[in-house]
Amino acid sequence: MTLAVRYTSARTLDTAPATPSVPGPGEVELAPAYVGICGTDLHIFHGDMDARVAAPAVLGHEMSGRVVRVGPEVEGWQPGDAVTVMPLRWDDSCPACRAGHQHVCQHLDFIGIDSPGAMQQRWIVPASTLVRLPDALPLDRAALVEPTAVAVHDVGRAEVAEGEKVVVVGGGPVGILIALVARAAGAEVRVVELSAHRRLLAEELGLTAWNPADVDVPALVTQWTGDAGADVAFEVSGAAGGVDTAVDVLGVRGRLCLVAIHPRPREVNLHRFFWRELTLVGARLYDRSDFEKAVALVADGTIPADRLISEVVPLTQAPAAFAALEGGGDVMKILLDCTDCTDDAQGATV
């Protein structure tokens, strides 16, 4: 028997036997090893995405694992291969796909949201979504490849260049990853974050972090840049104040990269956009080249994935893990160990 963690209704997860299946043409069966819980998973858990997510739904798209079986018409993969999954399935026919932007397909199936995800012990996915992992890369660290690919895409969209001054507003997992990827690209980086725990982690990773509750961030940026302002700001906080800060720190022709999902429209200082000829860039998801670069960054230690993992818990303890992440500040990334089902609880409501 294999198990799956399912979202059944707002703030309710259960652990249930998974329905056996076999990979069809072009598909593979995976044994997920580790699955990360991300902010989108929390939004689903809160019931905020019920219009999109059909319960009961197996969540999870940040993962690592191994191939168990391959279906007909699959080449290049065999049982035992270490993999992660780029969880996107597009139609290849909409205007976005025809323009070469399949990752923002207008009918995108985001696997783990729109279709069953990785929080289960066996998982059937298209072989086209597989991304190979180096054999020497520990699978727990490899579970952070997907959020690292997000950061790689964001830094690419903002066109961060060597020597530029970059401000990351929001020091959660994705914000820290953006800061690390931008630093690897040669930028000088500052992180703006309210949580003392997250600021401490950023500083332990060699980043400079500021608390916006204690300091005047735009004034510090003015001093840091010799009155020029930042070249790039990333808004990763999802808060109205974060938007204001990201706009206010930018210098002439600065670029604001919007990463966070804002659930409602925000007021934006458009006069500053006019006065300084600023650019606003949206960044969503990733493509295969972003994923492959993310694998390399995690594998060579540029991304110290082990430092970002706060806890690893058995798959069946998913409800408690979701509850811990709701606390926010003292937790970065919790992984579910799909190979460990030592707690045989069958359901929980948080």
Tell me what percent of the residues of the chain surpass a pLDDT of 70: 97
- The catalytic residue among 8, 40, 222, 302 is 40
Q: Report the candidate in 149, 148, 191 with the shortest Cα–Cα distance to residue 166.
A: 191
pLDDT tens-digit readout, 279-295? 999 999 999 999 999 99
Confidence of residue 143 (pLDDT cuts 50, 70, 90): very high
Q: Is 61 a catalytic residue?
A: no
- Of the chain, the end-to-end C-alpha distance in Å amounts to 26
pLDDT tens-digit readout, 146-193? 999 999 999 999 999 999 999 999 999 999 999 999 999 999 999 999
Cα separation values, 260 from 25, 136, 168, 234, 247, Å: 37, 33, 11, 9, 14
Q: Report the candidate in 140, 150, 190 with the shortest Cα–Cα distance to residue 167.
A: 190
pLDDT at 347 > cutoff 80: no
Residue with tokens 């860039």: 281
- The catalytic residue among 2, 43, 208, 225 is 43
What's the burial of 38, exposed, middle or buried (CB within 10 Å: 0-12/13-18/19+)?
buried
Confidence of residue 349 (pLDDT cuts 50, 70, 90): very low
Neighbours of 29 (CB within 10 A): 17
pLDDT at 348 > cutoff 90: no
What pLDDT does residue 326 have? 87
- Cα angle 106, 49, 15 (rounded to 5 degrees) comes to 115
> What is the pTM assigned to this prediction?
0.96
Q: Is 15 a catalytic residue?
A: no
Confidence of residue 343 (pLDDT cuts 50, 70, 90): low
What's the burial of 135, exposed, middle or buried (CB within 10 Å: 0-12/13-18/19+)?
exposed
Q: Which residues pair with 83 in a beta bridge?
A: 65, 132
